[in-house]
Structure 1
Amino acid sequence: MKDSRPAAVNIQPVSQRRLTQIQFTVLILLTLGAYHQVSGHHFVWDTIPFVLQNPWLQEMNWSNLVSIFIEAHRANWQPMVWLSHSLDFQMFSLDSGKHHLVNLVLHTANGILVYLLIFSLTMQAKTLNLSERQWAAFVGALVFAIHPQHVESVAWVVERKDVLYSLFALLSLLTYLRLHKLASPSRSDRALPFVLFVFAITSKPMAVTLPVVLLLLDFYPLHRCNLNRWDLLRAIVEKWHYFIISLCVVLITLNTQTMSMPTMEQLPLWARSLNALDNSWFYIAHYLLPTQLSPLYPYPDATEIISPVFWIDGAIFLLMSTAICIGLWRKSIRWPALLLLFYLITLLPVSGIIHVGPAKATDHYTYLTTLPLNLITGIGIVFAIKRLKRIRAALAGLMAFYCLFLLLITYQQVSYWNNPLSLWSRVIQLHPTSALAHRNLAGAYYSIGEGARALEHAERSLQLGGPAEDYVKQMREAVEAK
């Protein structure tokens, strides 16, 4: 007798797909809600010399395209970024809001990619089922997307390099993971992660660490190698082309940034090393409690750096985290060590050991560096809710409150980047003895016709060891002439 019952329908995958769609929608809406103000923002800080005064950007022709790819502008060789800015000029001219919106679109896309990456990295987490992996990916990606540490990368047009290089780097990691799941990968499958890596490293030299991150993926979750020296050597050799490109970009970067090197040479190695030690904890502390975030963290003087109070937090963090990871590794729990290595390796180029500029640290350096913290946050909250059933509602509420807290802080932080006046007023509010901030605020006041206030901040900058007397003299003469 023929079975008249309807054919079985696999409902579970559909519901999981629906959950992913809802999560993506919420992720996009919350990201846009946190950052929508940038559509009315002005060009700030060094956007004028870096972007608006770049002679290759406002007209797209063969001569400018060649210059974009073979020359450096203001000690920066980043052809993919210059190309993206050039496309902006062709479409939006000098509409600053639309230039900022491109950053926001890229950041939103990166939030989706972080979701996919966390979901992929947890594929062998035996303690999590499929829907729990989805929720872990959502929480981690949401924290990434709305975290105040990333405001600089979105609300500052010059930091297009952050969101663009991260887009390509995340795609490279995802396609590398996909490559090693395929039974018979094609040549294009093998080439794609490398091509995306090239796009990333020509957007920002910080991507030089990506080949080492791929080695970490070979350990986990891919299990393609272990500490056997021949296994490790094979994994390194197969990435020879990645390392060659990284070496070339390092040499290009060191060569093009010679104009900025005097800043580094004025700081002894011990000072830069202690600053790097402090920064290793500084960024994590700001991830956990992102208050008092500043567009500029002035470099401390030598007496402050040498004091144990300055660097002891970083030393304790490194010693404790290393000890914990070694202990877990001996128990065959290796992922904590790999996450710590990811953080330290990606932080190394911008840790402060090689120091250029007036800041001890910069929030936008955390854009991809703190990905392990996003992963731990996502997995940690899902695992806790799963195990601690009696307080799961309280834990879920606490996580929701934390995300709301991040959203509100981000919204406020975005507003500081609206214009030069709001930006430098915020820096002075947090760091009233910053000579650079007073000088830049003087320029901001002068540009809107408030000469007296401009002169006040110019003179204050001079008192703090800022600009030469000629600058103040010119400012005073200009004010009096009006």
Structure 2
Amino acid sequence: MKCCSLREYLYPLFLIVAGFLVYYPILGNQLLDYWDDQWVVMNYYTESGINFANIWAILTEFYHGQYAPFNEYLYLFLYSIAGYDPTIFHLASLLLHIANACLVFYIFKKLLIMSNRISIEKIPIISFLTALIFVIHPFNVESVAWMSASKVLVYAFFYLLATYTFLIFLERKKGRYFALTLIFYVFSFLGKEQAVTFPLLMLLVYWLLHYKFNNKEVWITVIPFFVLSLFFGIITMLSQSPDGNTIFSNAESYPLWQRVVYACYSLTEYFFKCIFPFKLSYLYPFPSLPGEPLPTWLLVYPVLLVVIVLTLWKHLTRWPLAFGLLFFIIHIAVALHIISLSRFAVVADRYAYVSSIGIAFIVAYYFYRLYEVLSVGKKVVLLILFCIYLMYLGVYSNVRTRTWYNVDTLKKELRDLLKERNDYKEIYGDKNDE
């Protein structure tokens, strides 16, 4: 019993150590002057002090197409401690990311126990591996290392708290846990608009826990969250309409059929980069501008997705894979351009922060399942390969944290990416890196 109790503490402790080992370089990084940090982090709200008038203004005003008051409160609090000390700011981001990873562990542990779909002794290790992949994954570096993206961490923290309290509510049927779930959900949206997916996550949890959708209890609990999501969605559109390309603006946007094609492309990119991240960047520009014809190669993606779904349908509908994929799709859907929002990149690493958890679960579950059925010799080989995979994720993340050191290191990455284009010399000539 003591051994099991000790192991329960070792799992989150290992996540904390892994998080610091991978991300410690960001503690020496700078805030990005003459970049988004110049106005997102360093602004008059941050510098106006902790007082009622400023706190109210942050809560009730839109700022440059942004509405993330709880994220701005984080900046305000950190600035009140040490001014614009980048170490303090980056330490806060790192601690939030590690806290999120620990929440992932406890959420999946409780969720899998409640689902009664996996034998009890397997649950801690699968939950731990899911959280470990999440905490060291290179796709999450942008959210952790770029201070302007800290709203992703803030929203995810309250989002995961809401998920955990929702599970406790389902377990104990106490109204106070439902109230906490509502509160944490509101807080999550006040961190970032991606929180609007929470009602869909609730339905996914109900499905996993064997609830029937004709059960009144399901809809009585979920409908208030759908109403809030609709309200929050309108706020998001209004906040972005003066500055970006939304359905409430008159700016030129992609027609619906092109947005569907881009959605298929983005979904495919997010999925494969979650499994095996390669050539990650802080900028993935659209291959064409609104009003221009789509490159022919993009049309392959809708066909590819249809073929994959039809071919693997039986496997895709089985619970471990179905749950992980639906978790992934639910949380990435708002970033797939079906609804025209203020975005300038076809893919962005930070948008996959929460959705990557679904893919991490799939990898963790099927690794452990395969490990169980193999012979001893093959188990050793699989374990070595999996350790190499984890090392690849961790080392790649550690290297990418250094890309975010300052504006110059980011610009260098952009120049290197541009040089890989076939038309680089045609556009930029033989200019050097200055």
Fold shared, TM-score > 0.5 on shorter chain: yes
| Distance in 1 separating the partners of 2:81 and 2:405 | 22
**Cα distance in structure 2, aligned partners of 1:156 and 1:19:** 33
Q: Which range moved further: 211-220 or 48-57?
A: 48-57
Residue in structure 2 matching 1:41, options 16, 29, 49: 29
Q: Matches of 2:91 and 2:283 in 1, distance apart?
A: 23
Aligned to 1:420: 407
Map of 1:467 onto structure 2: none
User: Helix, strand or coil: the match of 1:223?
Assistant: coil
1:254-277 Cα offsets, whole Å, 9 max, x none, are 111112334863433332221111
* Deviating more after overlay: 390-399 vs 163-172: 390-399
Aligned-pair distance for 1:359?
A: 1.2
**When the two structures are superposed, what TM-score results if normalisation uses the length of structure 1?**
0.81
Is 2:91 aligned against 1:107? no
The answer to whether residue 242 in structure 2 is matched with residue 259 in structure 1 is yes
Counterpart selection for 1:342 from 314, 327, 331: 327
Q: Write the mapping of 1:269-418 to structure 2, written as runs, cut at 5 A.
A: 269-301=256-288, 306-313=294-301, 315-317=303-305, 319-321=307-309, 324-325=312-313, 329=317, 333-353=318-338, 354-390=340-376, 391-418=378-405
Identity of aligned residues (%): 24
Cα RMSD after superposing both structures: 2.6
Q: Please list every run of 5 or more consecutive structure 1 residues that lacks an aligned counterpart in the other structure.
A: 1-12, 439-459, 465-482
2:222 alignment counterpart: 239
Letter in 2 for 1:383: R
What secondary structure sits across from 1:52 in the alignment? Answer: coil
Name the SS of the counterpart of 2:122 in structure 1: helix
Q: Which residue identity does 1:348 align to in structure 2?
A: A
- Check the 8 A contact 2:142/2:149 in 1, yes or no: yes
- Hey, what does 2:42 align to over in structure 1? 52
**Cα shift at 1:204:** 0.7
For 1:17 and 1:305, how far apart are their aligned partners in 2?
Answer: 60
Per-residue CA deviation, residues 411-470 of structure 1 (Å, 9 max, x unaligned), is: 111000000000111122123489xxx9xxxxxxxxxxxxxxxxxxxxx99x67xxxxxx
1:154 to 144, 153, 156: 144
- Secondary structure of the residue aligned to 2:45 is coil
One-letter amino acid of the counterpart of residue 23, structure 1: Y
Q: CA deviation at 1:345?
A: 2.2
Aligned residue pairs total 418
Aligned with 1:35: secondary structure? helix
CA drift of 1:71 comes to 0.7
2:129 match: 139
Match 1:196 to one of 184, 190, 211: 184
**Any conservation in 1 of the 2:139–2:273 contact (CA below 8 Å)?**
yes
Task: For 1:299 and 1:137, locate their aligned partners in 2 and report how far apart those are by CA, in whole Å.
Answer: 36
Q: In 1, distance between residues paired with 2:242 and 2:231?
A: 19
Residues 288 and 295 of structure 2 are in contact (CA less than 8 Å); yes or no, is this contact kept in structure 1?
A: no
Cα 1:239–1:322 change in 2 (3 A) is farther
Aligned-pair distance for 1:209? Answer: 0.8
Identify which of 78, 84, 93 aligns with 2:74: 84
More displaced 10-residue stretch of structure 1: 372-381 or 258-267: 258-267
When structure 1 is superposed on structure 2, of 154-163 and 309-318 the one drifting more is 309-318
Distance 1:154 1:319, change over 3 A: same
The 5 A counterparts of 1:453-472 are none
Cα drift, residue 306 of structure 1: 3.1
Larger C-alpha radius of gyration, 1 or 2?
Answer: 1
Using the alignment, how far apart are the partners of 1:386 and 1:305 within structure 2? 51
Matches of 1:83 and 1:328, distance apart in 2:
42
Q: Does 1:120 align with 2:105?
A: no
What is the identity, as a one-letter code, of the residue corresponding to 2:124? Q
Q: Is the 8 A contact 1:57 1:85 kept in 2?
A: no
Counterpart code for 1:247: L
The CA deviation string for residues 293-352 of structure 1, in whole angstroms up to 9 with x for no partner, is 0111111126997345324245423542466346664xxx44533433332222121112
Kindly provide the amino acid, as one letter, of the partner of residue 25 in structure 2: Q
What's the TM-score, normalizing by structure 2?
A: 0.89
Give the partner amino acid of 1:283: Y
CA distance in 2, matches of 1:164, 1:291: 26
- Note the residue ranges of structure 2 that are not aligned, 5 or more in a row: 429-434
Q: After superposition, what is the alpha-carbon deviation per residue over 1:217-247, rounded to whole angstroms, capped at 9, x for unaligned?
A: 1111x22224xxx33x652343222122211
Instruction: For 2:242 and 2:146, locate their aligned partners in 1 and report how far apart those are by CA, in whole Å.
Output: 23
Q: Which segment drifts farther, 249-258 or 310-319?
A: 310-319
Aligned-pair distance for 1:80? 1.0
In 2, Cα distance between equivalents of 1:293 and 1:305:
26
Counterpart in the other structure of 1:450: none
The match for 1:215 among 203, 209, 212 is 203
